[in-house]
């Protein structure tokens, strides 16, 4: 009996050893891919490749991207390759190559290669992650929802939320510091809740409301959720076979119920509101957007394309919520930090806000915020220095010869366009750590390569909601600067450190600011 047990154990250990040897050999071979293709790559660290800092959480995604970009730039490379475990990823450095990938030769890089599963995780199948013809058709349908006229239609809602932001800020003005990211997340939650669903989330009044709690949970992961996220990143195909969900079931169930209840209530009671959901319901029931006072002819009705399903409406609403909730609040947070650190810029911007509002009877209108050109420069400089997303991800969908080289990016290769690296490059932005809105004057913008500033992406997959996000930020900053003066509180870690567990740029320990009422 003992001999049988010993034999079984020996066989098991032999098998385990063989599997380890195979795994190690496979990883090591995978990490020679770029050498075999002739593309420059930094020395690797087994088994992480170049992603050790990400695994050990010793560097943020922004730092990881910037470090790789700077390494390639230091070695005078037009581009380079790197590894995260076995995954080979391409990084363009030359801006003409960046432009070719995002714009000129977009047909080779149509997809992002981001994991989604329409069946088991329907909220993941939104415009950001969809591929091929599905993405193209949906993009064409949804693009008209962000025209100037339709943004103007939602503007009053933004102002109402701005007024509530002032009420909450007034409560502790001059008395205690505010963690700005938390306050602005509540502000953007109320805006998106109203603009997406016509629902007053009351996040500013009640930080513990359901919407805020559920969406906070999206950005806080357990060990197993982090592992799932890693699998979806390095092996989307395996993740799909394992039916991994990137949206937590509780959040998914909550959000799907909100969408279905909203649709049912509006359709049963013939409710009309000037919001994003109204536009999506047109796409569900008519297949396209029409003006509210127009009538579709019977002939046009017959020509309608396939309408959006409830699941597709839910997925697009979810993306709208996530983007507005996280990136807009992040941009405003870092903007206020820079204004607090640069009092002269803060005063100049405040002066513009006051002068423009005086021209509009001291009312915050759509026309007023579009006239705040210096504010746009300040926001752009914030996005340059602190881009919420550090890299653009693309998937090579057919073999591509890199312009000006003999190098070929093979089909299936992931591409990281290094926003954080490019936008901190002294070649394009002298003294890049200095906060200088004049970089975005019309004169200075014309001096730079147009792809030296890409926080929203570029080309056909440029962020569809960038104008809404800019509008959201302008309203929030107008209200805050008109009423308060900001300075940095000692709770804020200086120099700034970034949370290595967050994919989006996030200040470690929060962004604490003092503020007094004007």
Q: Please state whether beta strands 484-488 and 178-179 pair in parallel, antiparallel, or not at all (unpaired).
A: unpaired
pLDDT digits (tens, 9 = 90+) for 57-67: 888 899 999 99
pLDDT digits (tens, 9 = 90+) for 106-127: 999 999 988 888 888 888 888 8
Output the domain CATH number for residue 118. 1.10.630.10
pLDDT value of residue 517: 94
87 pLDDT above the threshold of 90: no
309 pLDDT above the threshold of 80: yes
With beta carbons less than 8 A apart as the criterion, state whether 484 and 169 touch. yes
Between CA 212 and CA 218, with CA 215 as vertex, the angle to 5 degrees is: 150
pLDDT digits (tens, 9 = 90+) for 463-476: 988 899 999 999 99
pLDDT value of residue 18: 80
- Is residue 485 situated within a structural domain? no
- Is residue 310 situated within a structural domain? yes
pLDDT digits (tens, 9 = 90+) for 45-81: 888 889 888 888 888 899 999 999 999 999 999 999 9
- Is residue 506 situated within a structural domain? no
Alpha-carbon distances of 110 from 79, 126, 415, rounded to whole Å: 20, 15, 12
Tokens of 488: 């940095």
- Is residue 224 situated within a structural domain? yes
Q: Which residue has the tokens 């609403």?
A: 317
- Which residues, 6+ apart, have CB-to-CB distance to 140 below 8 Å? none
pLDDT value of residue 92: 98
- Is residue 58 situated within a structural domain? yes
- Is residue 265 situated within a structural domain? yes
- Is residue 370 situated within a structural domain? no
| 463 labeled binding residue | yes
Range of the domain at 209: 34-172+181-333+386-466
Domains of the chain: total: 1
């Amino acid at each position: 009996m003992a001999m049988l047990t010993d034999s079984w154990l020996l066989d098991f250990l032999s098998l385990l050893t063989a599997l380890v040897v195979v795994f190690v050999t496979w990883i090591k071979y995978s990490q020679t891919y770029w050498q075999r293709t002739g593309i420059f790559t930094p020395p690797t660290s087994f088994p992480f490749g170049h992603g050790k800092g990400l695994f050990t959480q010793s560097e943020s995604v922004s730092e990881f991207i910037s470090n790789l970009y700077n390494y390639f730039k230091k070695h005078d490379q037009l581009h380079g390759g790197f590894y995260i475990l076995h995954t080979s990823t391409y990084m363009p450095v030359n801006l003409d190559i960046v432009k070719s990938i995002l714009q000129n030769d977009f047909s080779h890089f149509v997809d992002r290669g981001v994991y989604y599963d329409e069946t088991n995780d329907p909220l993941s199948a939104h415009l950001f992650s969809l591929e091929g013809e599905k993405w193209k058709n949906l993009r064409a349908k949804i693009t008209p929802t962000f025209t100037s006229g339709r943004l103007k239609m939602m503007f009053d809602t933004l102002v109402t939320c701005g007024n509530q932001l002032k009420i909450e800020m007034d409560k502790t003005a001059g008395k205690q510091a505010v963690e700005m990211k938390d306050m602005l997340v509540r502000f953007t939650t109320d805006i998106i809740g109203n603009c997406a669903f016509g629902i007053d989330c009351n996040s500013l009044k009640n930080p513990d409301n359901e919407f805020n709690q559920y969406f906070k949970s999206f950005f806080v992961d357990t060990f197993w959720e982090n592992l799932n996220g890693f699998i979806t990143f390095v092996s989307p195909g395996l993740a799909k076979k394992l039916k991994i969900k990137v949206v937590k079931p509780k959040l998914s169930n909550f959000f799907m119920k909100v969408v279905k209840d909203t649709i049912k209530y509006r359709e049963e009671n013939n409710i009309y509101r000037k919001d994003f959901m109204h536009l999506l319901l047109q796409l569900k029931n008519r297949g396209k957007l029409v003006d509210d006072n127009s009538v579709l002819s019977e002939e046009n009705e017959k020509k309608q394309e396939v309408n959006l399903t409830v699941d597709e409406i839910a997925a697009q609403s979810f993306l709208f919520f996530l983007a507005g909730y996280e990136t807009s609040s992040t941009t405003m947070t870092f903007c206020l930090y820079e204004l607090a650190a640069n009092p002269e810029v803060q005063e100049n911007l405040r002066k513009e806000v006051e002068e423009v509002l005086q021209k509009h009877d001291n009312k915050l209108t759509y026309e007023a915020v579009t006239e705040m050109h210096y504010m746009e420069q300040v926001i752009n400089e914030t996005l340059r220095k602190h881009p919420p997303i550090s890299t653009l991800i693309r998937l090579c969908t057919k073999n591509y010869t890199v312009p000006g080289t003999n190098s070929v990016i093979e089909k299936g290769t992931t591409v990281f366009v290094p926003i954080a690296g490019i936008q901190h490059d002294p070649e394009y932005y002298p003294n890049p750590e200095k906060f200088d809105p004049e970089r975005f004057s019309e004169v200075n913008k014309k001096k730079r390569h147009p792809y030296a500033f890409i926080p929203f992406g570029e080309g056909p997959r440029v962020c569809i909601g960038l104008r809404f996000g800019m509008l959201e930020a302008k309203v929030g900053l107008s209200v805050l600067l008109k009423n308060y003066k900001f300075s940095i509180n000692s709770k804020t870690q200086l120099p700034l450190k970034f949370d290595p567990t967050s994919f989006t740029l996030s200040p470690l320990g929060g962004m604490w600011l003092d503020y007094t009422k004007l």
